[in-house]
Amino acid sequence: MIPDSQRLAYIEALRGIAILMVILHHSHPYFASISNYHLPAAVEEILWNGDKGVTLFFLMSAFTLCLSLNSKSKKEHKPVRNYFIRRVFRIAPLYMIIIGVVLLIGINTPSLSSVLANLFFVHGLNANWMNSTVPGGWSVGVEVLFYLIFPVLFFRLKNLPAAINITLAALVLAKIVTAVMSRYPLTGDSITWGVYVYENIFSQLPVFLIGVCLFQLKHTPVGQQERDSLVRCCYYLSAFILIHLLGGNLFKPHYLFAIAFAIAAYALSERPVKLLVNPITLWIGRISYSLYLIHLLVNNLLVKYHLNVFSSNSLADVGIRFCVVLGISAPVAYITYRLIELPFQEMGKRIIARLEHK
């Protein structure tokens, strides 16, 4: 039998690819406060779409949460309680330390309410809190909001048709909510609000649910009853695609990316490709959470100390910036992974073990 670590290596590799996409995105001259740049249109398109690495993170997060809770619910007395303990010790320690570092080095000057919201992981509920404390903190805020509703979704969505149906419903909900938000902004800063319209939990929920669909596709046997339900889902999905093509715009770009990523993840789960699943992507995937938070600090520090221009040639500048940010961030991320992430995850495991044996 193939060990889980090898069988599930593609998950870690996809996390590695996701963070490399995000770092590439933040290598765009815009994020280095450079306004006068000239990039080929294809490169520009690739750089701007590097932010879909977060989409891949969300997708794989939902998928791995399903794997974990499915496994733990068969072995543990209180799997939901233990699920929340694991989430706290996985996310909170490093994030809180990063908040302290941000305040110490003065990258941002957030309000007290924003700092408190970030400390309690509710910053995803307010446009002005989303990114004003920790650079890129929005994704953590959205992820935590999904954590809160995930157990209910997991135990309710027992098969692929149910997962597809709720995903389609979430697409409609996202369309309605984001349309209302765009029409009735709650802040005077149109840029901040525009970003929030994209980054809020309603907009991102379908991405997580596509990850749940991927889990059901991989792990739920399909009987005759499920096949009948799946046929109905195909009709619904066809209708959604037709509405989209006729101008309904139901499938935002990040949803299409999520579907493409899910298909790729399924293929990799069946037949890994060395180009994508290899020691480099696996190592980067392991430190991806630390690397996500730290590379943004490095980016901001380079701008703060006017170390943001590496070449007069825009294309070379992007390439050098990517290598510099990755070269600085990866070793630091490995240290925080070893000294912060792993010890606190082990602490969470020990707490769960004690509670399970009471």
Q: What is the pLDDT of residue 311?
A: 93
Q: Are 144 and 91 in contact (CB under 8 A)?
A: yes
Q: What is the pLDDT of residue 90?
A: 97
Mean pLDDT of 105-126: 95
Instruction: State the pTM of this model.
Output: 0.94
Three-class secondary structure assignment of the chain? CCCHHHHCHHHHHHHHHHHHHHHHHCCCHHHHCCCCCCCCHHHHHHHHHHHHHHHHHHHHHHHHHHHHHHHHCCCCCCHHHHHHHHHHHHHHHHHHHHHHHHHHHCCCCCCHHHHHHHHCCCHHHCCCCCCCCCCCCHHHHHHHHHHHHHHHHHHHCCCHHHHHHHHHHHHHHHHHHHHHHHHCCCCCCHHHHHHHHHHCHHHHHHHHHHHHHHHHHHHCCCCHHHHHHHHHHHHHHHHHHHHHHHHHCCCCHHHHHHHHHHHHHHHHHHCCCCCCCCHHHHHHHHCHHHHHHHHHHHHHHHHHCCCCCCCCCHHHHHHHHHHHHHHHHHHHHHHHHHHHHHHHHHHHHHHHHHHHCC
Mean pLDDT of 250-278: 92
Q: What is the pLDDT of residue 244?
A: 76
- In percent, the amount of the chain with pLDDT more than 90 equals 82
Q: What is the pLDDT of residues 7-45, one digit of tens each?
A: 789 999 999 999 999 999 999 999 999 988 999 999 999
Mean pLDDT of 80-97: 98
Mean pLDDT of 116-128: 97
Q: Could you tell me which residue, 218 or 101, shows the higher pLDDT?
A: 101
pLDDT range class, residue 1, cuts 50, 70, 90: very low
Q: What is the pLDDT of residues 245-256, one digit of tens each?
A: 777 777 889 999
- In percent, the amount of the chain with pLDDT more than 70 equals 96
Q: What is the pLDDT of residues 154-207, one digit of tens each?
A: 999 988 889 999 999 999 999 999 999 999 999 889 999 999 999 999 999 999
Q: What is the pLDDT of residue 223?
A: 65
pLDDT range class, residue 3, cuts 50, 70, 90: low
**Dist CA 105 CA 132 (whole Å):** 14
Kindly tell me if the per-residue pLDDT of 2 is higher than 70. no
Q: What is the pLDDT of residues 192-244, one digit of tens each?
A: 999 999 999 999 999 999 999 999 988 877 666 666 777 777 777 778 778 87
Mean pLDDT of 263-292: 95
Kindly tell me if the per-residue pLDDT of 110 is higher than 90. yes
* Angle at 339 (CA atoms; ends 336, 345), nearest 5 degrees: 100
Residue 287 to residues 20, 62, 301: CA-CA distances in angstroms?
A: 11, 18, 21
